[in-house]
Amino acid sequence: MGKHDWENNEEIQIFREYLRIPSVHPNVDYTACVDFLKRQATRLNLSLEIIYPNKESNPCVLMKWQGQQPELPAILLNSHMDVVPVFADKWTHDPFAAHMDEEGRIYARGAQDMKCVSTQYLGAIRALKAAGFQPRRTLYLSFVPEEEAGPNPGMLELVQADYMHKLNIGFSLDEGISSENEIYNVFYAERTLWHVRFKISGTSGHGSLLLSHTAGEKLNYLLAKLMEFRAAQVKLLEGNSSLTIGDVTTVNLTQVCGGVQSNVVPPLLELGVDIRIAVTMDIAAFEKQIRQWCEEAGSGIEFIFETKDEFVPPTKVDATNPYWLTFKQSLDELGLKIRLLVFTGATDSRFIRQVGIPALGFSPINNTPVLLHDHNEYLRADTYLQGIQTYKKIISSLANC
């Protein structure tokens, strides 16, 4: 296919229409997304419900394809409507124009993360309905808000409001990350996310003195310990070719705040630290270690969790999980090679796994640069269309397993 054929392809047109909706942080307005999804549900003859888990929530959109045996545990196909901010001057094309070049590359924020997955689900269901397919299990498609930057992610609110229990979900699919070679990435777990703020108090005074117990001294000690730990994780990763970034614990300094002017020793300094804890690490022991470093640095350090996710067990990827076996068999029958990984970031799957539902992260994108959250994010039209066929196979298999 060439550019003319892609531009006139119904599925590509739907994808580009969704990409042109600027559901971008901060202060996302989801009205256009909801209207778009209403139109899609009508075209597919799927029931649609708009859910507000609490009175101040943004909308969660839920589509339903009733199964022939609705008493069976259902399949959930999840995606999020929001996208991260853009620096438009860094883009070759308008990030919300869904420009397609001669090679079929569609440039837009959300092209990889993750509006592609949302409309590929819809495309796969359109193809299954056209073929007369009837699912045994009920299929739900959830389109949730605030995954990227919201204080109350939509999926978290659905879980807390007990919607997953009401829907009787047996298994969930959600987003993954593209692969730069022919092997597709499949994510069965996520590291535990902590965002930590250290408020470091100390002696204040004139910048010409050598005061004791200053906030700067304590900060220096604590930061050195954190960076020593970080260096050890870097060494571990570099020394074992079988490991990926998701297999180690990452520690990154993200914020340093404090002080009023250069000749005043401040009474308070703050550090913001992003920590992603490997699934193999003892979380309680690690927290105890950090608190010990704070004590060693000196009194007056407040250790605050801005985000503190609990450990969530990985989804089993063995013979004890029939959904995994079905998913894997589908890809095998398509001749697709996969790589099992721990997700590097954080997705809605962590909330789903937290309530005991097995979940996999998978975006059917290979031979493509990883551009999520980057400038000039794009997805090729042929890759997108192939992904619909891949989902068609996976969804039909899961719905009838």
- Annotated active-site residue in 11, 82, 157, 175: 82
Q: Catalytic residue among 113, 146, 147, 348, which? A: 147
CA 373 to chain centre: 11
Q: Judge whether 82 counts as a catalytic residue.
A: yes
Residue 23 contacts by C-beta under 8 Å, 6 or more apart in sequence? 29, 30, 32, 33, 81, 82, 83, 110
Give Dmax (Cα) for the chain: 81
Tell me the β-bridge partners of 142: 62, 78
Q: How far apart are CA 283 and CA 192, in angstroms?
A: 9
Report the alpha-carbon angle 204-272-153, nearest 5: 140
Sequence letter at residue 93 = H
Distance of CA 366 to the CA centre of its chain: 18
Question: What distances in angstroms separate CA 349 from CA 103, 129, 346, 360, one per listed residue?
Answer: 33, 27, 8, 7
The answer to whether 107 touches 175, Cβ cutoff 8 Å, is: no
The pair of three-digit structure tokens given for residue 84, joined into one six-digit string: 């991260």
Tokens (6 digits) for 219: 């900060």
Q: Is 71 a catalytic residue?
A: no
Phi and psi (nearest 5°) for 13?
Answer: -65, -40
Q: Can you count the helices (H) and strands (E) in the chain? A: 11, 17
Determine contact, residues 269/200, Cβ cutoff 8 Å.
yes
CA distance 368 to 184: 10
Residues 6 or more apart whose Cβ sits within 8 Å of residue 230: 250, 251, 252
Q: Whole-angstrom Cα distance, residue 38 to residue 152? A: 23
Tell me which amino acid residue 17 is.
Answer: E
Residues 6+ apart with CB under 8 A from 187: 176, 177, 246, 340, 341, 342, 343, 347, 349, 360, 361, 362
Cβ atoms of 269 and 216 within 8 Å: the answer is yes
Cα separations (Å) of 107 from 99, 125, 143, 321, 372? 5, 25, 22, 38, 12
Question: Would you name the residues annotated as active-site residues?
Answer: 82, 147
